[in-house]
Structure 1
Amino acid sequence: MSLIQWDEAMSVGMDELDEQHRELIDLLNESYDAIQRHDETLMVLLIDKMRDYSMVHFQAEEAVLRSLGYPDIEAHTKQHRIYADKVDEFRRDMLVRTNLSQVFIFLSRWLTNHIMHEDRKFIPWLPETDDEGA
C-alpha cells in the first residue's frame, strides 16, 4: 500500500526536480512497505537511501533556487533541514519505536505538503518551457 501517489498537480514544471520528487516518493513508499512487512534489513537500507537521496535532491533544488534569485530560499532551506533532521531522528530511533507507521505518515504528509505548497511557490521563478499553456 502506498502512502503517496505522484500526481501531476505536484509538478513544479522542471523535469529534474519532478523526477527527484517522484524518486523520494517511491523511496518513502518502499520504506513504508518494508515496515508493514517487518523487514528490518530492507527498512534500514531504504531509510539510508531515502536520507542520502533527499540530501542530493535538496542540494540540487536549493542550487536552482539560488541561481534564480528565489527570495524565500532561506525559509525553504530551513524546511529541508527539518525534514532531514526528522529522517535522521527516525533512523536513530527506528529499532526502538513501537509505531513506525506514524513516523512514515508524518514524513509522507510533510513531503506531500512541501511539494504541493512550498515547492510550487518557486514555479514563477523557473524558466518558462515550450509546453507552457499546452
Structure 2
Amino acid sequence: MGDARGWYPCFSRPFNDWEMEAVVSLLSFLQGKRLFVGMEDRVLWNASKNEIFSVKSLYNTLDSSGAVPFPWRIIWSPCVPTKVGFFAWEASWGKVLTQDQLKRRGWILANKCFLCCDEEETINHILIHCPKARVLWNLVFSLFGVN
C-alpha cells in the first residue's frame, strides 16, 4: 500500500515465529530501494551484463563459489579413453556405486573399505584417503616423475 509519502507493507495475516527472520531479511533488503513512477515494470537478470537471462549466466552464477574449476577439458579429452572419462566424471560427482551409496539406496551391508578394512567405503576414501590407494598413487606419480 502506498500514498504520496511512500509505501508501507500490508500483510493479510500475522507471521509465525519461524517466518520472522525471512520477513526481517526481506524488509531489510527493500529498505532504501526506490520506485520509479511512470516506468513500466520489467524483469532484469543482474547476473549478466545485458540483464537478460541465459542458462550460461545462471551456471556462471552458481559456479562462482570460488572453488577450483572442474577440469572437464582433461576428462573429456580425445586422449582419455571413454570409460576412464565416464568413471572420472562419476567419481567427481560422487556417483560411483560404493558401499555408502548402496546403503543410501536401502541395501543392508557392512560398510568397510575392502582395501584397508579400517574406514567406510566412500569414493573419496577409496581414491584418495585409503593408505593402500596412497601407495598406488605414489607409484603411479613416481612413474611420471611427479612428487
Which interval holds the TM-score relative to the shorter structure? under 0.3
Report the TM-score, using the length of structure 1 for normalisation. 0.26
Name the larger-Rg structure: 2
Larger relative contact order (Cα-Cα within 8 Å, sequence gap ≥ 6): 1
